[in-house]
Structures are given as C-alpha cells and as structure tokens.
Amino acid sequence: MRTLVRRCCCVRPQYIGNPAVVLTHQLPCAVWALLIPLQLTPSVRQSRPAAWHRAMGYATAASAVLLSTGVLLMLQRGMTGTTALYKVTALLVMTAWFLGTMGVAVGAARRRDFKAHRAWMARHAAAGVWVAVQRLIMMLLAAAPVVDWRAAPELEKLYVFDGASLVAWVLVVGACEWGLRREEEEQQQRGAAAVAKEQ
C-alpha cells in the first residue's frame, strides 16, 4: 500500500504522508477523469447497452463523492496552502456545486428526464474540468519569460495559483452555461421553424 501511495504521489510529494488523501482524492480524480468523457460522448453511449451507461454513471457519481470527501479532508488537514477565509469559502462553494450538479443529474436520470440529465451532467463535468484549465494557465505563467517563478515568494505563488483557479472556474462554468443556453435557443428555433412549415 505504501508503495502504491508513493507512486501516486510522485507529482505531489506532500501527499506521501497522507495516504487517506491519496485514496479519497487523487485516485478518485483519475477514475472521474476517465469516466466523464465516456459518459458524455454520444457515440460511446449509443454503442453500449443502457445498463452499461447506468453502471458507469453510478461509478462516476461514487468517484465524485469520494474525491469531494478528499477535498474536505485536505481542508481539515491544512493541505490547501492556506486556511484563509477566501480559500476555504471558495473550495466549499466549488465542491458544493460539483456535488450538487451530480445529485441533480442523477435525480433527473431516475425520473427519466434525460434532457435535464444531459444538461446537469454537462454542468457537473465543467465543475471538475476547470482544474485542467487552471493547470494550463499555470503552465503558461511558469513559461512566461517575464515571470521568474522560482524566485517568487511562496505567498505570491499561492495567490497566483488561487487567482488562476478562480479564472479557470469562471471561464469553464460560464462557457458551459453559455453553450447550454445556445443549445436551448437553437432547439426552440428549430421547433418554431417546424411548426411554421406545417402551417
């Protein structure tokens, strides 16, 4: 088990002494990141039985709950860089939205309201995918010749990291809402055109 934890922690060495965080956050994150594209890709869904999609959906939900538990554990252990009110509040809000979107999506699926289910799953995906965008922003900042990242004070690095997180979250969640609204408007326009054609 310790060997597994060390291998999983190779990127984040501070996790080596916290196997509970690895098991409740890092590993479930990998499972979630693998399952979400499979669940949202229409060709994959259509090529598999409905029972397969349902089982993978519950596995995705379980990984979302587990990795969110890991976030709370990291907060409790002071592993988020700072315990400042802004950081704790932001993480709690993001985690609540992440879990809430999954909960609404599962509820819609159980009611067989598949249109709402797809919309809320898209929101749920956005609530997690922003992390990848934040990492991309950080890579670009680190590669920028105007920033000497290695010489920057730790507190300054933390503020940049948190600022990039906020920017990424707003961009991804906002883009998702914009896309869903555009899709709804296009469906309404097609419906109105079909009614006009029949008249």
> Is residue 193 scored above 90 in pLDDT?
no
Q: What average pLDDT score do residues 80-104 get?
A: 91
146 and 109 within one domain: yes
Q: What is the DSSP-derived secondary structure letter of residue 47?
A: T
User: What's the pLDDT score for residue 68?
Assistant: 95
What is the per-residue pLDDT across 17-73, written as a single tens digit (0 to 9) for each?
Answer: 778 888 888 899 999 999 999 999 888 888 888 889 999 999 999 999 999 999 999
| Residue ending a domain, choose from 79, 111, 142 | 79
Residue 157's pLDDT band (cuts 50, 70, 90)? confident
145 and 96 within one domain: yes
DSSP assignment of 82-137: ---HHHHHHHHHHHHHHHHHHHHHHHHHHTT-HHHHHHHHHHHHHHHHHHHHHHHH
97 and 19 within one domain: no
What is the per-residue pLDDT across 30-46, written as a single tens digit (0 to 9) for each?
Answer: 999 999 999 998 888 88
47 and 97 within one domain: no
Number of structural domains the chain divides into: 2
189 and 105 within one domain: yes
Residue 9's pLDDT band (cuts 50, 70, 90)? very low
Please say whether the beta carbons of 146 and 130 come within 8 A.
no
| Residue ending a domain, choose from 63, 79, 95 | 79
| Strand, helix or coil for residue 11 | coil
> Is residue 2 scored above 60 in pLDDT?
no
27 and 13 within one domain: yes
> Is residue 76 scored above 50 in pLDDT?
yes
169 and 111 within one domain: yes
Residue 101, domain extent: 81-199
55 and 18 within one domain: yes
pTM for the model stands at 0.84
User: What's the pLDDT score for residue 71?
Assistant: 92
| Residue ending a domain, choose from 64, 79, 94 | 79
Q: What average pLDDT score do residues 183-197 get?
A: 81
90 and 68 within one domain: no
